[in-house]
């Protein structure tokens, strides 16, 4: 893949492509619902994200084609003397571009954006069922310094 990838804020027109990428892996197939039309829950979530100045949904594009996505949430904390953190979530690339450097460019873009927002740390999680993703993030300098816990809530 050529390196002429550009990044921009996602629009509602990108939502179908984004959900398709989220659903295109073993874990995503279990928890996402990619259909036409998309369930209203995705549209509501998208609207909440774009209306919050501390959330950014970013797409990587090759020409007009969306080939990657990530969400960055900026959170103020009292710890670290009132510092800000960036949390990276939902990083996905099209299956056809995996291994070509698009994911690295997405993460590097997020790191630069976190610096621009004066964050002192970037955090992310990856499912233990994705050992390749863990190795990917470690190659980019991320360290497993904390034990992360999640509690799934029943609806």
For position 48, what pLDDT does the model report?
98
- Interacting residues of 40 by C-beta distance below 8 A, sequence separation 6+: none
For position 155, what pLDDT does the model report?
76
Q: Which of 83, 62, 84 is nearest to 17 (CA)?
A: 62
Please, what are the averages of pLDDT over each run of 10 residues along the chain (155 residues)?
Answer: 81 97 90 94 97 98 96 96 96 93 96 97 93 94 91 88
CA distance 137 to 38: 30
| Beta carbons within 10 angstroms of residue 112's beta carbon | 11
Task: Go through the domains of the chain in sequence order and give each one's CATH number.
Answer: 6-139 (3.40.630.30)
**Digit-coded pLDDT (tens) for 21-66:** 999 988 888 899 999 999 999 999 999 999 999 999 999 999 999 9
Whether residue 103 contacts residue 91, with contact meaning beta carbons closer than 8 Å, is answered with yes
């Amino acid at each position: 893949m050529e390196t002429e990838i550009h990044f921009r804020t996602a629009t509602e027109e990108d939502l179908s492509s984004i959900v398709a990428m989220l659903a295109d892996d073993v874990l995503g197939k279990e928890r996402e619902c990619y259909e036409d039309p998309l369930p209203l829950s995705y549209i509501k979530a998208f609207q909440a994200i774009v209306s919050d100045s501390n959330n950014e949904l970013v797409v990587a594009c090759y020409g007009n084609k969306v080939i990657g996505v990530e969400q960055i949430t900026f959170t103020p904390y009292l710890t670290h003397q009132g510092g800000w953190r960036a949390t990276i979530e939902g990083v996905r690339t099209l299956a056809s571009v995996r291994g070509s450097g698009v994911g690295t460019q997405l993460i590097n873009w997020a790191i630069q954006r976190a610096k621009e927002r004066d964050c002192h740390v970037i955090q992310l999680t990856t499912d233990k069922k994705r050992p390749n993703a863990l190795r990917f993030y470690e190659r980019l300098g991320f360290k497993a310094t904390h034990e992360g816990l999640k509690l799934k809530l029943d609806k």
